[in-house]
Amino acid sequence: MKVTVNKTELTIFQGATVADALRAYYTQQKQKAPSPLPEVEDIYGNSVAHDGALTEGNQLIIKEK
């Protein structure tokens, strides 16, 4: 399925979580994923937990520190 992190489209396995999408995002950006992973929100400004389930087309935004 396809989701976006910071407007970058990712193709990720069906059933992935927010944490999976973040790891895939950093991998695609050729960066090491920070530990702990950064906080994330949806396009409506709600916080989303790292273990949250993703569905097709979800859009995530990494929160600025």
Partner 1 sequence: MNKFLSILILFLVFTGCGMNKRKSQKTDTEREVVILAVNDIHANIDNFPRFAFMVDSLRAIYPDMLLVSAGDYQTGNPVNDQYHEKGRPMIELMNSVGFNLSAVGNHEFDVGVKTFETHTKSAYFDHICANLILPEGMEFNIKPYKIITLPNGLKVGFISVLALGSNNLPECHPDNLVGFSFTNPFETAQKYLYLKDSTDLLIYINHFGFENDVKLANTFPKEAVDLIIGGHSHTKVEKEQIHNDIMITQAGRRLDYATLIRFTVYPDGQLNRSMQLLTIGQSGNEKADVRTMVDKYNSNPEMMEVIAKAPFDFRTTDELGYWMADALKATAKTEIAVVNKGGVRIDYLPAGEITRKTIFTIDPFGNQIVTVTLTGYELKAFISNMFGQNEYSLMYPSGIHLNYVVGKEDNKLIDLELLNEDGTPLNMDKTYSVATSSYVITTADFQRKDSGKTLSVTTSEGWIKWLLEEKTVKNYQEVKRVFINE
Q: Do 20 and 11 touch, CB atoms closer than 8 A?
A: no
What's the min distance (Å) between Cβ of 54 and partner 1? 7
Nearest to 5 by CA among 19, 13, 15, 14: 19
Among 7, 35, 36, 46, binds partner 1 (CB under 8 A): 46
Residue 23 touching partner 1 (CB under 8 A): yes
Confirm if 48 and 38 have CB atoms less than 8 A apart.
no
Contact residues for partner 1 (CB under 8 A)? 1, 11-18, 20-21, 23-24, 27-28, 30, 33, 42-49, 51-59
